[in-house]
Amino acid sequence: MVPIVCGIPIQGDGFIGKQTVGTGFFVSRDGSLLRASHVLEGMSKIQDPRGKCSPVIYLPVGGWNGRQRGMPVRVLDFASCVTSSEADVAICKLTINPFTDSQLKSQVKVLKIVSSAG
């Protein structure tokens, strides 16, 4: 599970995390992320004088070993999403696949769900 954040880009490769707006989780090794479709709908209402909010996720380069200020993170932008308002779900692609990124691939895992029902 990863946080979806209203991110405001700053000079260089940084961003300011204005507000966590929801969560998502990876559903395949191609980097597809599942989230609720309503998560991004309210983001346009978030105001900040430094700039417009963009949906991003972030993953710590060293893994989730507690939250520490200044820990190195990779910020991943949304490339595209296909949504269903009726089901309130969206499947999104990111600009970088964390499963193939050299800094992140050891930090992300896929859980295999096995049904005991035959």
Tally of CB atoms within 10 A around 79:
11
Mean pLDDT of 17-33: 89
Domain 2-94 class, CATH top level: mainly beta
Q: Cβ distance 37 to 84 under 8 Å?
A: yes
CA distances to 17, 22, 42, 83, 84 from 38, in Å: 19, 9, 7, 9, 10
Say how far residue 59 (Cα) sits from the centre of its chain: 8
Q: Cβ distance 59 to 107 under 8 Å?
A: yes
Distance between CA atoms of 53 and 20, rounded to whole angstroms? 11
- The total number of residues written for the chain in this structure: 118
Place of tokens 């599970």: 1
Dig out the tokens for 48 from the structure: 């900040």
Q: Where are the domains of the chain?
A: 2-94
Q: Model pTM greater than 0.85?
A: no
Residues 39-93 pLDDT 10s: 877 777 787 888 888 888 888 877 777 666 667 778 888 999 999 989 999 999 9
